[in-house]
Chain A
Amino acid sequence: MKSEELTRGGGVNLTDALQGKIAGLQISNSGTGVGGSTRVVIRGSSSLSDNNEPLYVVDGVPYDTGGHDIDGQAGLWGGTDRSGGAFDLNPEDIESISVLKGPTAAALYGSRAGNGVILITTKKGGAANEAIGVTYTGKFAWNPVSYFLDLQNTYGQGSNGVYTPEATGSWGAPMGSIAPVAAWWDASTTVPYQGDANPYKEYYRTGNSQSHNITVAGGKDNPWRLSFGRDDNQSVIKPSTINKTSVDLVARFEAAKWLHFDVKANYVRTVGNNRQTRGLYGTSFYITTLPRSIRMADLEAHAIDEDAAALGKVAHLNWYGPNADYQNPYFIQKQFNNQDIQNKFFGMGKMTIDFTKNLKLTVKEGFNWIDYQTKNWYPYKDPVFTSSYPEVDMRKTTRIENNLEGLLSYNNKFGDFDFGVSVGGNIMHAKSEGLHGDGRKIALVGAMFISAGGEIKASNSVYEKEVQSIYAFANLGWKNFLFLDVTARNDWSSTLPAANRSYFYPSVALSYLLTGMLDEMGVGYNKDVLDYGKIRASWAKVGKDTDPYQLQNTYGSSTGENGLVVIEQNTTLANANLKPEMANSFEVGTEWHFFKNRLGFDVTYYNTTTRNQVMKIALPYSSGVQNKWINAGVINNQGIEVQLYGDIIRTRDLTLGATLNLARNINKVKELYHDAETGIDVNQYELGHMTGNAGVYVRAVEGEPIGSIYGTGYVRDAKGNIEMKDGLPVTKSEVFLGSVQPDFTGSFGLNFDWKGLTANVLFNFKKGGKLFSVTEYSAAHAGTAKRTEDRQNFTFNGTKVDAQAFWTNAPAEEFMYDASYVKLGEVSLGYSFSRKMLEKATAGFVKTAKISLYGTNLAYLFSKTPGTTPDGSSTDTSIFASAFDMCPYPTTRNFGVSLTIGF
Chain B
Amino acid sequence: MKKYIIPALAILALLVSCTKKFDEMNTDPTAVTDAMVQPHFIFGRYLYHGMCNDHQRNFNLNDDMYAHYFSEGLGWTDYWHYNEGWGNIYWRDFYTDRQREFLLLDDLFGEDPEYNGMKAANDIYNVILWLRVIDRYGDAPYKNANGEYAGRGNKMPYNSIKEIYPDLVARLQKDVTLLNNPGTKTYYDYDYLYANDWAKWKKLANTLIMRLAMRMSNTPEAATLKEAFAAAVSGAMSDPSDYARISCDTSVWGDYYDRTFYDWANTFTSSDFMKMMNGNNPGYATGVVDPRRAFWFSQGYKVKKVKDPETGKEKEEKYQDESCWDGFPNGNYAVDTRADVKTAHGGAASFAGLNVDDANGFFYFSFHSKANQNLSWCLASYSETCFLKAEAVLRGWISGNAEDFYKEGIRASMDEVAFMIKKSGGDKTISDAEKNAYIAALPAFGTGETALRNVIIQKWIAIFPNSAEAWCDQRRTGYPDYKSGVFTYPTIHPSSLVTSGNIVQRIPYPDNEYNTNIDMMPAKYQSGDRDQQSNLYWALGGEGKTQSKDQTPNNL
Which residues in A have some Cβ–Cβ distance to B below 8 Å? 159-160, 164-168, 187-188, 314, 321, 323-324, 355-356, 358-359, 361, 363, 381, 383-384, 387-388, 404-408, 423-427, 441, 443, 454, 459-462, 464-466, 468-470, 492-495, 498, 501, 548-549, 551-552, 554-557, 560-562, 564-569, 571, 573, 618-626, 628, 678-680, 682, 684, 691-693, 808-809
B41 proximity list for chain A (CB < 8 A)? 557, 565-567
| B249→A494 contact, CB < 8 A | no
Interface size for chain B: under 10, 10 to 19, 20 to 34, or 35 or more residues? 35 or more
Closest to A470 in B: B16
Output the residue of A187, A423, A625 with the most chain B CB within 10 A: A625
A361 to B10, alpha carbons, bound, how many Å? 12
Q: Taking the nearest CB of chain A, how far is it from the CB of B512, in angstroms?
A: 5
> How far in angstroms is the closest Cβ of chain B from A387?
5
Contact B45 A561 (CB under 8 A): yes
Are A623's CB and B95's CB within 8 A? yes
Compute how far the CA of A623 lies from the CA of B512 in the bound complex, rounded to whole angstroms: 11
Given A166-B342, A554-B31, A626-B92: A159 touches B336 (CB 8 Å cut-off): yes
> In the complex, A470→B11 CA distance in Å?
12
Residue of B33, B252, B335, B342 near A554 (CB, 8 A) is: B33
Question: B318 interface residue, CB < 8 Å from A?
Answer: no
A425 touching B16 by the CB < 8 A rule? yes
User: Which residues of B are at the interface with A, using a C-beta cutoff of 8 A?
Assistant: 1, 4-5, 8-9, 11-13, 15-17, 19, 21-23, 25-33, 36-37, 41-42, 44-45, 48, 52, 84-85, 88, 91-92, 95-97, 99-101, 103-104, 140-141, 145, 149-156, 189-190, 192, 247-252, 254-255, 258-259, 263-266, 305, 313-316, 335-336, 339-340, 342-343, 347-348, 367-368, 370, 494-495, 510, 512-513, 515-517, 520
- Contacting pair A462 B29 (CB below 8 A): yes
CB within 8 Å for A425 and B12 given contacts A562-B249, A623-B154: yes
Could you list 10 A-B pairs, sorted by A, with CB under 8 Å?
A159-B336, A188-B315, A387-B263, A407-B12, A462-B29, A561-B44, A561-B52, A620-B154, A621-B92, A808-B335
Question: What residue of chain A has the Cβ atom nearest to residue B28's Cβ?
Answer: A549
Contacts of A405 in B (CB 8 A): 15
Residues of A with C-beta under 8 A to B367 = 381, 387, 441
- Is B15 touching A427 in the complex (CB atoms < 8 A)? yes
Query: Is B315 touching A495 in the complex (CB atoms < 8 A)?
Result: no
**B158 CB → nearest A CB, Å:** 9
Apart from A159-B335, A679-B154, list 14 A-B contacts with CB within 8 A. A166-B347, A167-B336, A323-B263, A355-B4, A427-B16, A492-B16, A494-B25, A554-B28, A571-B97, A621-B513, A623-B141, A623-B150, A625-B152, A682-B516
CA of A381 to CA of B263 in the docked complex: distance in angstroms? Answer: 11
A624 near B104 with CB under 8 A, answer no
A830 CB, min distance to chain B CBs, angstroms: 47
B45: contacting residue among A461, A548, A568, A691, CB under 8 A: A568
Kindly report which residue of chain B lies nearest to residue A625, judged by CB atoms: B153
**Contact of B141 with A622 in the complex, beta carbons under 8 Å:** yes
Query: A residues within 8 A CB of B517?
Result: 620, 622-623
On chain A, the residues within 8 Å of B101 by CB distance are 569
Q: Taking A466-B22, A501-B19, A622-B156 as contacts, is the C-beta distance between A355 and B42 under 8 angstroms? A: no
Of A355, A406, A407, A623, which one neighbours B153 at CB under 8 angstroms? A623
- Closest residue of chain A to B18 (Cβ to Cβ) is A468
CB B95 to nearest CB in A, in angstroms, measures 5
Task: Write the nearest CB–CB distance from A180 to chain B, whole angstroms.
Answer: 15
Residues of B contacting A692 with CB < 8 Å? Answer: 85
Structural contact, B12 and A408, CB atoms closer than 8 A: yes
Pick from A159, A469, A626: contact of B96, CB below 8 A.
A626
- Kindly report which residue of chain A lies nearest to residue B509, judged by CB atoms: A622
9 closest Cβ pairs, A-B complex: A554-B31, A620-B517, A624-B151, A555-B32, A166-B339, A494-B22, A383-B263, A425-B15, A566-B45
Complex Cα–Cα for A565 and B443 (A):
51
Contact B153–A621 (Cβ < 8 Å): no
- The interface residues of chain B lying within 8 Å CB-to-CB of A567 are 32, 36-37, 41-42, 45
Known contacts A187-B316, A323-B264, A621-B95, A561 near B32 by CB under 8 Å? no
CA gap between A423 and B4 in the complex, in Å: 14
Please give me the residue from chain B that is nearest to A550 by CB atom: B26
Q: A188-B315, A569-B104 are in contact. Are A628 and B343 (CB under 8 A)?
A: no
Q: CA of A469 to CA of B29 in the docked complex: distance in angstroms?
A: 25
Question: Inside 8 A of A557's CB, which chain B residues have their CB?
Answer: 32, 36, 41
Given A554-B32, A622-B145, answer yes or no on A678-B264 (Cβ-Cβ < 8 Å). Answer: no
Q: Is the CB of B512 within 8 A of A620?
A: yes
Whether B153 pairs with A555 at a CB distance below 8 angstroms is: no
| Other-chain residue from A168, A363, A387, A569 in contact with B255 (beta carbon distance below 8 A) | A387
Could you say which of B23, B45, B48, B153 contacts A678, with CB atoms under 8 Å apart?
A: B153
Q: How far is the CA of A534 from the CA of B340 in the complex (A)?
A: 76
| A454 proximity list for chain B (CB < 8 A) | 368
Instruction: Knowing A355-B1, A561-B44, say if A384 contacts B153 (CB, 8 Å).
Output: no
Residues on B with C-beta less than 8 A from A571 are 96-97
A408 touches B9 (CB 8 A): yes
Q: Is the CB of A623 within 8 A of B149?
A: yes
Cα–Cα distance between A426 and B339 once the two chains are bound (Å): 68
CA distance A373 to B501 in the complex (A): 59
Say whether, besides A355-B1, A464-B25, A562-B192, A691 and B85 are in contact (CB < 8 Å). yes
Residue numbers in B under 8 Å from A680 (CB-CB): 153-155, 516
Q: Please, which residues of chain B bring their CB within 8 A of the CB of A355?
A: 1, 4, 8
A903 to B513, CA, bound (A): 71
A194, B52: Cα distance in complex, Å: 45
Which residues of chain B are within 8 angstroms of A423 by Cβ–Cβ distance?
A: 9, 12
* B316: nearest chain-A partner, CB-CB: A187
CB distance from A623 to the nearest CB of B (A): 5
The interface centre, meaning the residue of A321, A425, A493, A566 with most chain B CB atoms within 10 A of its CB, is: A566
B339 touches A620 (CB 8 A): no
Q: Which B residues are CB-close (under 8 A) to A568?
A: 45, 97
B37 close to A678 (CB less than 8 A): no
Most buried by A among B26, B510, B516: B26
**Inter-subunit contact B255/A460 (CB<8 Å):** no
The residue among B84, B313, B495 with the most chain A CB atoms within 10 A of its own CB is B495
The smallest beta-carbon distance between A559 and chain B, in angstroms, is 9
Chain A residues whose CB sits within 8 angstroms of the CB of B190 once the complex forms = 564
A624 contacts which of B23, B45, B150, B254 (Cβ < 8 Å)? B150
Interchain CB contact under 8 A, A387 and B192: no
Min C-beta distance of B377 to chain A, whole Å: 12
Shortest C-beta distance, B366 to chain A (Å), equals: 11
- Whether A560 touches B153, Cβ cut-off 8 Å, given contacts A408-B5, A622-B141, is no
Chain B CB count within 10 A is highest, among A388, A423, A443, A555, for A555
| B153 close to A628 (CB less than 8 A) | yes
**Pairwise interchain contact B4-A359, C-beta atoms closer than 8 A:** yes
Interchain CB contact under 8 A, B11 and A573: no
Q: How far is the CA of A567 from the CA of B45 in the complex (A)?
A: 7
| Cβ contact within 8 Å between A623 and B339 | no
Across the interface, name the chain B residue whose C-beta is closest to A560: B45
Known: A560-B48, A562-B249. A361 touches B8 (CB 8 A): yes
Bound Cα distance A693, B86 (Å): 12
Candidates B149, B495, B510; contact of A621 at CB < 8 Å: B510
Nearest CB on A from B89, distance (A): 10
Of A358, A468, A628, A691, which contacts B19 at CB under 8 A?
A468
Bound: A561/B191 CA distance, A:
12
Which residues of chain B come closer than 8 Å to A461, judged between CB atoms? 30
CB distance from B337 to the nearest CB of A (A): 9
A823 to chain B, nearest CB (A): 37
| Contact A164–B513 (Cβ < 8 Å) | no
Is there an interface contact between B31 and A548, defined as CB atoms closer than 8 Å? no
Which chain A residues lie closer than 8 Å to B251 at the CB level?
Answer: 560-561
Contact A498 B23 (CB under 8 A): yes
| Closest A residue by C-beta to B52 | A561
Chain B residue, CB-CB nearest to A809 = B494
Instruction: Give the chain A neighbours of B21 by CB distance below 8 A.
Output: 494
**In whole angstroms, how far apart are the Cα atoms of A573 and B153 in the complex?**
8
